[in-house]
Structure 1
Amino acid sequence: MIESAKIDGASELKIFWRIIIPLSQPVIADLAVLSFTWRWNDYIWPLLVVSSPKYMTLQLGLALFSGEHTVQWGSLLAMTTLSMIPVMVVFLAFQRYFVKGITMGSLK
């Protein structure tokens, strides 16, 4: 496709915006979802950096539900379920690009 665009007289920038970016949208969407999920679930770096409970991330707050000898399972599981909502929203926002990538491979 790139070579045929060059033969048709398209510039490098036009090839990039009209061919390469649309073909790589599923990969970019996958990278966005995975990157958001990794940052959302990050635990060690905020644990090292944050010193005040006022600035704790959600994952650090979830760790507070487990004490030295007891774990508040009901509260922990409820808050863990609620913490999954932003990840699900991001996934659903990019889902059409995943489907587009799957169907693009089946077309001639």
Structure 2
Amino acid sequence: MKSELENKKCVPCELGTNPLNHSDIMVFSDILSDGWEVINDVKIEKKFKFKDFKEALEFTNKVGALAEEEGHHPDIQLSWGKVVISLTTHKIHGLSENDFIMAVKIDKL
């Protein structure tokens, strides 16, 4: 299933689309790499550590380029040696398959 997500492209959600339910979120979260945390069934988040600010910034720029490619944009916190990525689908106020697609692709960076 992980490789299926790697090969998918994010598709814009339409207004009125329901966010994933708890059971579906648990299925998707089981295929994510270690470090991703489900928060209140509304977002997923992971902290990435780096040796310095420059490496953290380079990673942030790669995530930004991926987000533009996919048309699905995470919230990113950048600080010295650390990047925190939060994914949610704002349009539906919860998690969608797109969030998990992005998480898998971010881990590949």
Larger relative contact order (CA 8 Å, sep ≥ 6) = 2
Structure 2 length-normalised TM = 0.26
The answer to which structure has the higher strand fraction is 2
The answer to which structure has the higher helix fraction is 1
Structure 1 length-normalised TM = 0.26
